Structure 1
Amino acid sequence: MKINAMIQVLEQLAPPSLQESYDNAGLITGSASWECTGVLCTLDAIEAVILEAKQKGCNLVVAHHPIVFGGLKKLNGKNYVEKAVITAIKNDIAIYAMHTNLDNVAWGVNNKIADKLGLINRKILSPKPGQLMKLHTFVPVEHAENLRTALFTAGAGEIGKYSHCSFNVEGTGTFQAGEGTDPFVGEIGKTHTEKEIRLEVIFPVWKQSEILSALFQAHPYEEVAYDLVSLGNDYQDIGSGLIGTLPEPMEETQFLRMLVTSFGLSMVKHTPFLGKNIQKVAICGGAGSFLTGKALSKGADIYISADFKYHEFFDANDRMVIADIGHWESEQFTTDLLIDVLQAKFPTFAVLKSEVKTNPVNYFTGE
């Protein structure tokens, strides 16, 4: 099996186009054309993980965080990034990273956190605009059903939990075939009228090539008339953070005890308790202070994330509790998500979980 087969599955889960502009997700070392000997999943592709992959016979490391985030001007092993890259290259180990693209899908990093908390009624906290397009095309009435089916199969026509969504209106199309054409209907040099359906479907921007391929293959006309329109609508399944509710409200200290147990935490940094129950919970794996305002506007009782600076805790404005559980701690279950996805697709292939705890932060309690 080629490494590319693994990459295709991962990119169906979280297309690379969904990563933020500052990110560096994707294949960082190695070649997608290599035969895959095994996969090792981790949060961070540090040198110890690369050596573990070598020892376990895995030539593909799938990580959440890109080991190369900024540009590399030298490779002489003076820091942990250069050491990991050098070791990967020397041992023919490919590193593939899924970072903010995996953060930005409703079924990604934050959904795994929500699973651990038992949240229901989940929604993206800050939906991302500009991720939808609409296709308009015109097809003979008797061929409309076949074309609709082809477009739906390619991924068009999904709105929230609804599928096979389209708009259809019947009208009359006219055209005149010129010399050298091979018209499906009508005659060369004569104006032809045809009963047609104007068919409209929406689709995610990253599926454009598949949608157009399906359109051209299924449409009977030699020249297909179509329009592509970018939509400003928010895509409710794509964006930052997540918000949901607990099945039953919990007292603040009770909820934090549950949080500590569920995530195996040594400590939680938090703003003052407000003396009210917690039921609406906002979350963001990793550094999420940029979503504090969104969590407040959505009426969250608590916002769980990481890497808050001192003054950013004041942004809770005595309206909700902020709980900083640590960066690694908030994203630790992402490794399980990656394993679950790959094992579901390749149940007989070696997909392993790294035994290296990559968290660089330790906590001294004085005990």
Structure 2
Amino acid sequence: MQHLPIASIIQALENFAPPSYQESYDNCGLITGSAGWACTGVLCTLDATEAVVLEAVANGCNMVVAHHPIVFGGLKKINGKNYVEQAIITAIKNDIAIYAIHTNADNVLLGVNNAIANALGLVNTQILSPKTNLLAKLITYIPIAHVEQVRKALFDAGIGIMGNYSEVSFSAEGTGTYKANEAANPFIGDKGQRHEEQERKLEMIFPAYMQKQVVKVLIAAHPYEEVAYDIIPLANEHKQVGSGMVGHLPEEMPELDFLAHIKKAFGLQAIRHTPLLGKNVSKVAICGGAGSFLIGKAIAVDADFYITADVKYHEFFDAENKLVIADIGHWESEQYTVDLLIGILQPKFPTFAVLKSGVVTNPVHYFL
């Protein structure tokens, strides 16, 4: 069986959901183990409990990819007194790498909330609460004959994307000047003489986390010895990164029918919800896991239903008879995340063992 470095698995996951997109309180990334280890197999799960770690050992997998980080805060002692420490001890003793892909996977367009939307059959989906300050603009100046080679290199690096459009840029022509000193090696023009060159100003937007890569590609493709460029942070919304999702049902349906639809789609035993409003359901907002912080956003986009989890008693009042809040349970709302993880990894590593955990880690049970 093919053995890949764990770093290769991590790279595939982080290309899908960059770590910079995680929330400030989160702890995504490699929690135990080393990226330099040869990976013998990956087990995908929602929670990296001790039972899941032992399942990985039994299946010959030395990497567990989990949605929830088993460690959120610092551990001052590791002596097995709780389920977190027990899982960490077992992972370390058996050389199991645990990797968490949590709120960064929540916040990307095709991530956790998209899996929920697909389970419900929603169409025309978009991020419910897009994030800001995640974009930057590159401005550079290029001699006209070399514009296309630089532009193509930047496009090939994955920048210049806006929503459903790729290869987005703006350019305008002007005259640049410079005078090279004796230590310089000018691409064109004579040392000690001011040179004028017809140049094109090129602008492109890119995800801010890519800045180092963008500058590296620019300098490699640009003909000048000294490349003039600006990186400008943008406060614009990033339409493909943010919290929650909103979409439409292909056909509207009565509220009771929609509740039955939710129950079937997620295999639920019960749904906690606010009073029904006596109207058909068309527009649906969703957020996997604890999503009460988006109730106001769901109301603002005129959603008929808001599906999430971990809603507290007083937070149900926030519906204000403007929509129906449906709390389907934390584990239940995120259960399709495991299939999402497998869908990321299996196509990229088709000869490699990527397994779905058979351990149901949901700590909540219902007596009916």
User: What TM-score, normalized by structure 2, do the two folds share?
Assistant: 0.99
2:304 paired with 1:312: no
Count residues with an aligned counterpart: 365
- Shift, 1:244, TM fit: 0.3
User: In the alignment, does 2:285 pair up with 1:292?
Assistant: no
Return the offset for 1:153: 0.8
- 1:62 corresponds, among 61, 65, 70, to 65
SS for the counterpart of 2:347 is helix
Aligned to 2:268: 265
Matched residue SS, 2:346: helix
Structure 1 residue 277 and structure 2 residue 280: aligned? yes
Whole-angstrom distance in 2 between the partners of 1:197 and 1:257? 59
> Is 2:136 aligned against 1:133?
yes
Per-residue CA shift, 1:211-268, capped at 9, x if unaligned? 1111011000000000000001000000000000001001001011011111000100
Q: Which amino acid aligns with 1:173?
A: G
**Are residues 1:167 and 2:170 paired?**
yes
- Residue 336 of structure 1: SS of its match in structure 2? helix
> In the aligned structure 2, how far is the partner of 1:160 from the partner of 1:233?
13
CA distance in 1, matches of 2:233, 2:158: 17
Structure 2: gaps (5+ residues): none
Q: Deviating runs (4+, > 2 A) in structure 1? A: none
Equivalent residue of 2:66, what SS?
strand
AA matched with 1:270: H
More deviation in 347-356 or 206-215? Answer: 206-215
| 1:187-228 deviation per Cα after TM superposition (whole angstroms, max 9, x unaligned) | 111100000000000001121122111101100000000000
Is 1:302 the equivalent of 2:302? Answer: no
Which secondary structure does the structure 2 equivalent of 1:295 belong to?
Answer: helix
CA distance in 2 between counterparts of 1:99 and 1:170 reads 45
Counterpart for residue 220 of structure 2: 217
Please give the root-mean-square deviation of Cα atoms over the aligned residues, in Å. Answer: 0.5
Partner Cα distance (1:157, 1:282) in 2? 29
The amino acid of 1:214's aligned partner reads V
Confirm or deny: 8 A CA contact 1:132 1:233 kept in the other structure: yes
Instruction: Give, as a single letter, the amino acid of the residue that structure 1 aligns with 2:139.
Output: H
Secondary structure in structure 1 of the residue aligned to 2:60: coil
Q: Which whole-Å CA distance do the structure 2 matches of 1:244 and 1:205 have between them?
A: 27
Percent identity, aligned pairs only? Answer: 64
Mind listing any 5+ residue stretches in structure 1 that lack a counterpart? none
Match for residue 29 of structure 2?
26
Amino acid in the other structure paired with 2:270: M
Deviation track 1:27-62 (CA, whole Å, cap 9, x = no partner) reads 000000000000000000000000000000000000
Contact map agreement 1:155 1:207 (CA 8 A) in 2: no
Corresponding position: 1:43 with 2:29? no
Distance in 2 (CA, whole Å) between partners of 1:235 and 1:289 is 22
